[in-house]
Amino acid sequence: MTPCPPTASDPASPRFAAGRHALRGGMLSFHADPFLAEPAESFVHLPDALVVIEDGKILEAGPYDGLRARVEGSMPVAHYPDALILPGFIDTHIHYPQTQMIGACGEQLLEWLHKYTFVTEQQFAHRAHAEVVSELFLRELLRAGTTTAAVYCTVHPESVDAFFEVSERFGTCMIAGKVLMDRNAPPALLDTAESGYAQSKALIEKWHGKGRQLYCITPRFAGTSSEAQLAAAARLWREHPGTYVQTHLSENLGEVDWIAELFPHHDDYFNVYQRAGLAGPRAIFAHAVHVSEGELCACHRSGAALAHCPTSNLFLGSGLFRLFDAKRADRPVRVGLGTDIGGGTAFSQLQTLNEAYKVAALNQTRLTAAHAFYLATRGGAHALYLDDRLGAIEAGYEADLVVLDLKSTPLMDFRMRYCADLMERLFVLMTLGDDRAVRATYVAGRPVYDRARQPQPFRHADGAAPA
């Protein structure tokens, strides 16, 4: 049977992404932090909403009945019944080169790095390999509804170029950078303080602020960077305001002990970065499972952010991140959610929230659906200092959106019939949901992923299907 051609209101239509258009469906957006405010008053939920988009940004959003007269007949409208429109998910910690080793079995952190990660990352010296993995990686993020991520590349500049070129084709806002390592890794993955600085500087000049791409200075962690390299990274950061820093912090007890041996004259692990000049706004520290109260206070004072990576911390046996302790109201730390592929086991933020709930429960705390979906949307944007443009469905914000299908599987459809209210429906989404729950993903107002668009559900920003 020949499929019917798309209509103007169909997201597959070329007309749909051009000019002014709208999405209709249930809508959820946070305007406050439920860890610090009353959770029930931290969000806006509209059972039937219109989100009007123009030139990649949200023009207005509100109840359908209030906007329909201005919209009907004047622009294409994509209607998503039995669905919920949210800001696109934000992943604050993920390694794209580890896509091919996700699910590698049987080691804790330091052994896992040497047995799997360092072997895999050597392949990214080859540009063609990096291009293939970058394309697959971006598609998997979009399939999971993630529109922005803080991404590790490898030590090879080619891996950064390949990644940003694919991101540019999809139009996504990505934060990424070349890994810096000048010790305690295989020779094929080592740079020097000087070469790492020079290569990163060239990549910043090439990519930072180009379209929606943002650069992140990326010392892997203190164990693989000398004090000279950490100082060079800090100098690079000072010289390029608006760039980011990302690294790892207190993921594993063996790692924490090793860092104490390598840096015996520092107060604690976070102090290693702080004294080097790598703590401050737009610095992202992944894991922080074993941080002290003093380190949390230092994070709060500096404005640095932590990335909570529950699937990875459970998979590698690293420990339980104390989320509610980090978000304590008298000294709240910015916290986002990270999938940490490939220590993490799913691209899906829904699956990650499922595990975050369990980690919180083991810590004798209760992660409600309001807390959870805040972390995956506006909380991630806040952690990345992007909450003035991403993470909410409000006029003027960039139109990065995810449409979640409340009937995506027979089990979810059945379970939703017995939900008493919105919070229960959201909780079901985060415990039963995965990438199958993502009906569509919009980037700058364009439907770059549409589950119903077959045989190729993906489109680049220019509307062309990927090869």
Residues 363, 403, single domain; the answer is no
Say if residue 127 is in the same domain as residue 190.
yes
Count other C-beta atoms under 10 Å from residue 184's C-beta. 18
Same-domain check for residues 133 and 187: yes
Alpha helices (H) in 339-420, listed in sequence order: 349-362, 369-374, 380-383, 410-416
Could you give the number of structural domains in the chain?
2
End position of a domain, from candidates 383, 405, 429: 383
Which of 364, 383, 402 is a domain's end point? 383
d(CA 296, CA 304): 10
Q: Are residues 413 and 351 in the same domain?
A: no
* Residue 429 tokens, joined: 């989404």
Half-sphere exposure of 465 (CA within 13 A, CB side): 9
| Token pair belonging to 185 | 């890794």
Closest-CA residue to 181 (of 226, 217, 150, 243): 226
Q: What amino acid is encoded at 319 in this protein?
A: G
Q: Which residues form the domain of 319?
A: 89-383
- pTM, 2 dp: 0.95
Within a 13 Å sphere around the CA of 31, how many CA atoms are in the beta-carbon half?
A: 8
pLDDT in the model for residue 6: 38
For Cα atoms 111, 116, 120, give the angle at the middle one, nearest 5 degrees.
Answer: 145
Paired strand residues for 74 = none
For residue 79, give every residue at least 6 positions away whose Cβ sits within 8 Å of its Cβ, in sequence order, or none.
Answer: 9, 24, 25
Question: Residues 262, 185: one domain?
Answer: yes
Whether residue 95 sits in one domain with residue 74? no
Residues 318, 408 share a domain? no
CATH code, domain with 290? 3.20.20.140
Q: What are the φ and ψ backbone dihedral angles of 446, each rounded to 5 degrees? A: -100, 135
Report if residue 96 sits inside a domain.
yes
Query: Does residue 240 form part of some domain?
Result: yes
Residue of 166, 185, 190 lying closest to 99 (CA atoms) = 166
Residues 400 and 251 both lie in one domain = no
Query: Is residue 268 assigned to a domain?
Result: yes
Residue 459 lies in a domain: no
399 and 257 co-located in one domain: no
Residue 359, in any domain of the structure? yes
Distance CA 374, CA 247 (A): 23
What's the chain's length in residues? 467
- Which residues in 96-186 belong to E strands, given as ranges? 146-152, 173-177, 179-180
389: region left, alpha or beta (phi > 0 left; psi from -120 to 50 alpha):
alpha
User: Could you tell me if 62 and 82 lie in one domain?
Assistant: yes
Check if the beta carbon of residue 67 is closer than 8 Å to that of residue 52.
Answer: yes
- pLDDT values of the chain reduced to their tens digit, one per residue, 467 residues: 333 333 444 554 544 545 799 999 999 999 999 999 999 999 999 999 999 999 999 999 999 999 999 888 899 999 999 999 999 999 999 999 999 999 988 777 888 888 999 999 999 999 999 999 999 999 999 999 999 999 999 999 999 999 999 999 999 999 999 999 999 999 999 999 999 999 999 999 999 999 999 999 999 999 999 999 999 999 999 999 999 999 999 999 999 999 999 999 999 999 999 999 999 999 999 999 999 999 999 999 999 999 999 999 999 999 999 999 999 999 999 999 999 999 999 999 999 999 999 999 999 999 999 999 999 999 999 999 999 999 999 999 999 999 999 999 999 999 999 999 999 999 999 999 999 999 999 999 999 999 999 999 999 999 999 98
243 and 305 assigned to the same domain: yes
Residue 342's region, left for phi above 0, alpha for psi from -120 to 50, else beta, is: alpha
| CATH for 22 | 2.30.40.10
Claim to verify: residue 210 and residue 322 sit in the same structural domain: yes
Q: Residue 10 has what pLDDT? A: 54
Q: Which of 165, 163, 199 is nearest to 181 (CA)?
A: 199
